[in-house]
Structure 1
Amino acid sequence: MSLDPVAVTPIRVAGLLVGEDERLPVYVHLIDHPDGRILVDTGLTQLHPAVADMDPRLDALDRHDELDLESITAVVNTHLHFDHCGGNHLFAGRPIYVQRQELEDARTLDDYTIPDWVDAPGVQYTAVDGEYELVAGVRLLPAPGHTRGSQIVVIETGERPIVIAGDTAVWFGELDEPSTEGQRLILSLHPREVWLAHADEPWRPAD
């Protein structure tokens, strides 16, 4: 099944200090699908001492009046770093899809993420092993590189797919000159556009 036209809506949820005066935006992405609304990543909703040095400026999902959180039927975590899973608690009782490797690493490795945010009360994960069709025309693919268990979301459009990549690439240059398995996978899909977690606009290939 192809979904064309399909709207992927980026939602800015935070800004993180990554240099002396450089602030990196944090985006999550909403997919409207005939079978439901899928949210890719959840940003962060509160401050935490572990990341105080990044001086998070929050515009959390639950502060977006135009977004009905109850309308979200499924959540995907591209990976479980704090700025991608910190809003998972808002979706307690709804399925959250993550690669099994990522879930294991987040629960067992030191200094990996904020554990209380990963396993917040009521959060229920569906652990995925490899490729998985979430709904018709929307697939999850493992994309190691940023983390061992990172995954991307691929939306078939009838021509070239749209990819939501999380941090598989953090900036456009990493797709222009790929160096990880996940980045090379994205290019092999010949995508129409690729949405990144820390960029305002999608990356598009030169051809």
Structure 2
Amino acid sequence: MSDGDGVRTTPGTPASRSPRVTVRPVHVADLVAEGELMPVYVHVIEHPEARVLVDTGLTELHPLVADLDPRVLDVGLEELDPASIDVVVNTHLHFDHCGGNRRFAGRPFYVQRRELEDVRSLAVPTILAWVDAAGVEYVPVDGEHELLPGVRLVPAPGHTPGSQIVVVGTGEHPTVVCGDTAMWFGELDQPQTEGQRLIRALDPEQVWLSHEHRPWRPRYPSSSAASPSSAER
């Protein structure tokens, strides 16, 4: 749903096999890429043991990204009270995924060790001042990691070599928060990278992308009419 300022949020969505866990997208910014408006979403996982923020979006402007005409949405940021967040996960460290890290200083930031090393060695471009903002402390992860019961971090190389996804749900058809492992629905309809193929192999119920307003859902033959596809964005 959208409010009068055009800031889009979506009610919490039950995660498969985890009735007490929800995933909620929050629209925090817009970019202009190849002449088209691209939303920037972060995702809040409400878990009985902790409130987890997946990526921190873009919360300020910087000359290095002026060509993307970034527009920060204050109403979206107001939904993210730093005091309410217990844990932060960075799927990767591009500027539009770590731009708000400083707001959550003092919380543990989980990121794949490969991603952190690549960024600090300049192998992956970003805004280093945002990555290493004062008070931001990372928990480097090597491979798969159980963050909370029913919430896993899983390496998903492709967009960057050190990218990771968040898998919510312990049974069949989990919910996935994928960062930029897929940037639009077509990349999951026809997966090309290791990370995209991994997501499809999980047989997810839905996948939340950082730059889409709605989740991607698989086109099951028996229910294709009811399942949104890339043509239904």
Q: 2:81 aligns with which of 68, 76, 81?
A: 68
With structure 1 as the length reference, what TM-score do the two structures score?
A: 0.95
CA RMSD of aligned residues (A): 1.7
**1:170 and 2:187 matched:** no
Q: Deviations over 1:151-173 (max 9, x none)?
A: 00000154410000000000000
What is the CA distance between 1:111 and its match in structure 2?
Answer: 6.6
The answer to whether the 8 A contact 1:42-1:61 is kept is no
Write the distance in 1 (CA, Å) between the matches of 2:80 and 2:126: 26
Which residue matches 1:18? 33
**1:7 and 2:19 matched:** no
Distance 1:33 1:170, change over 3 A: same
What is the CA distance between 1:15 and its match in structure 2?
Answer: 0.5
Where does 1:4-153 land on structure 2 (aligned, <5 Å)? 4=19, 6-20=21-35, 22-60=36-74, 63-64=77-78, 66-109=79-122, 112-153=125-166
Write the distance in 2 (CA, Å) between the matches of 1:60 and 1:76: 21
Q: Deviations over 1:125-166 (max 9, x none)?
A: 000000000000000000000000000000015441000000
Which residue matches 1:180? 193
What is the CA distance between 1:109 and its match in structure 2?
Answer: 1.4
Write the distance in 2 (CA, Å) between the matches of 1:109 and 1:60: 30
Partner amino acid, structure 2, of 1:44:
L
Write the distance in 1 (CA, Å) between the matches of 2:48 and 2:110: 19
In structure 2, stretches of 5+ residues that fail to align are 1-15, 221-233
The answer to whether the 8 A contact 1:101-1:148 is kept is yes
Partner amino acid, structure 2, of 1:104:
E
What is the CA distance between 1:6 and its match in structure 2?
Answer: 3.2
Write the distance in 2 (CA, Å) between the matches of 1:154 and 1:44: 23
Choose 178-187 or 103-112, whichever is displaced more: 103-112
What is the CA distance between 1:83 and its match in structure 2?
Answer: 0.1
Partner amino acid, structure 1, of 2:56:
T
Choose 169-178 or 150-159, whichever is displaced more: 150-159
After TM superposition, what 4+ stretches of structure 1 lie above 4 angstroms from structure 2?
none
Write the distance in 2 (CA, Å) between the matches of 1:67 and 1:97: 18
What is the CA distance between 1:63 and its match in structure 2?
Answer: 3.7
Write the distance in 2 (CA, Å) between the matches of 1:110 and 1:49: 20
Distance 1:117 1:188, change over 3 A: same
SS in 1 for 2:217: coil
SS in 1 for 2:18: coil
Report which structure shows greater RCO (CA 8 Å, sep ≥6): 1
